[in-house]
């Protein structure tokens, strides 16, 4: 089984990716002895994914992939976007971000939003990018106990439940990260 480094400390993301990439041994940053908090200071998702992938390749000399994900809310001009993980400030929790977004959306009729993931893959000295998008809407309150991040308030188009109410397998088939990862898998299996 081919080993792939996923440049993340986020155990939720790691579990999600391992469920998608069943034909690969996916290891995280802790598994390779990387305990640094890689600074993501790009102004777009692709830039942040590139920073993380390049850090692992440059410092550990390993092929790897990294992702960055943003929730883009139409009524908020695409915010929180690249700042999704720290929308409520540095060191905030997932719940803090959800509360801040629900507050920003109070009384707003246009609830359209999308999750977008960009994956940067460093493989054999080359870099490749893959993108996944899922459209949906922001709910007016939290629904469900599963998932992480904004999952309790994001309902994908064509579904009556939030990401947090879905089985992981269902979410992975339709999610932004699932779609970007499917493109990564297709590339790796060529």
Catalytic site positions: 68
- Count of H-run helices and E-run strands, the chain: 5, 7
Task: State how far the Cα of 65 lies from the Cα of 21, in Å rounded to an integer.
Answer: 12
Helix (H) or strand (E) holding 5: strand 2-6
Contact 95, 114 (CB under 8 A): no
Task: State how far the Cα of 45 lies from the Cα of 57, in Å rounded to an integer.
Answer: 19
Write the CB contacts of 4 (distance below 8 Å, at least 6 apart in sequence).
21, 24, 25, 26, 27, 63, 64, 65
């Amino acid at each position: 089984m081919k080993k792939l480094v996923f440049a993340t400390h986020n155990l939720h993301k790691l579990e999600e990716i391992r469920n998608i990439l069943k034909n690969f041994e996916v290891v995280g940053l802790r598994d390779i002895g990387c305990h640094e908090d890689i600074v993501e200071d790009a102004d777009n998702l692709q830039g942040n994914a590139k920073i993380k992938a390049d850090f692992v390749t440059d410092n550990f000399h390993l092929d790897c992939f990294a992702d960055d994900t943003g929730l883009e809310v139409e009524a908020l001009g695409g915010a929180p976007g690249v700042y999704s993980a720290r929308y409520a400030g540095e060191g905030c929790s997932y719940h803090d971000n959800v509360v801040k977004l629900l507050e920003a959306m109070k009384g707003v009729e246009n609830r359209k939003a999308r999750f977008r993931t960009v994956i940067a893959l460093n493989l054999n000295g080359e870099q490749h990018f893959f993108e996944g998008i899922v459209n949906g809407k922001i709910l007016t309150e939290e629904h469900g106990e599963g998932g992480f991040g904004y999952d309790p308030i994001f309902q994908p188009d064509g579904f009556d439940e939030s990401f947090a109410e879905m089985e992981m397998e269902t979410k992975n088939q339709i999610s932004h990260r699932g779609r970007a990862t499917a493109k990564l898998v297709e590339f790796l299996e060529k």
